[in-house]
Amino acid sequence: MTTVTEIWKVTVRANASMNTENLDMSNSGLKSTSPDMLNILSLNCCGIIKKLQYPEFETLLRSHDIICLVETKLDDRDEIKLPGYIFKFKNRKKIAKVKSGGNLLGYKQKYEHFIEVIDTGSKFVFWFKISSKIMNTDTDTVFGIVYIPPEYTSYASWDAFCQIEIECLDLSSRYKFVSLVGDFNGRTASEKDFLILDSHDPSNNFSDLIENSVSILDFLDIPRERKNRDIGKK
């Protein structure tokens, strides 16, 4: 069986004119100006230990400043090392006979003082923030590394999205910039991107609903009907 993984890459513009008087530069390795860009990699690696045996995989990791991996298939006894990088883990289990799932955050050592893990209770998302001191922003930027198990598997959870939403809303109330990366296992098939609700139905509660007109899709020349190669959704 061939496993296909998808790579999601984003390039974030960093602050090119940092005020070094406000930074602890003693151990960071940063010069007076940061790189113009931070390269962030998001990837379902389907087992990092075996992947690190391939030089091409290490080359891929080293071409990025920040690494977000899911399905690392590690437990707390495992140790992953890549010279020049620091790794943080959120494993599915502390000790596992059969290892599965798991999220990993990695970043170059020179960013050690500017990246911080945010501890939360959900096992489906691993949060961290990047200091505004190296970003071209007025506040810290928050990222969540997401892995949601596929439907109809032993690890599936019907409240996975709810847990992530609750934590995302909480962080959004404290931080201006919040983003999610990772593998959502989103089996969308031909499902619509919008909901049509009957405003006359008393069972519909609109108090917390942010309503957007679906006509905006027509204005942007976006088809209302989804065209998706994923035709196997049950």
pLDDT tens figures, 115-159? 999 999 999 999 999 999 988 889 999 999 999 998 878 888 889
Res 64: pLDDT = 97
Where do runs of H (alpha helix) occur along 82-207? Answer: 160-172
What 3-state class would DSSP assign to 108? strand
Mean pLDDT for 5-18 is: 49
Q: Report pLDDT for 172.
A: 95
Percentage of the chain lying above the pLDDT 70 cut:
76
| Residues 63-94 pLDDT 10s | 999 999 999 999 999 999 999 999 999 999 99
Angstrom distance (rounded) from CA 7 to CA 140:
25
H or E segment at 51?
helix 48-51
What pLDDT, on a 0 to 100 scale, did the predictor assign at position 3? 34
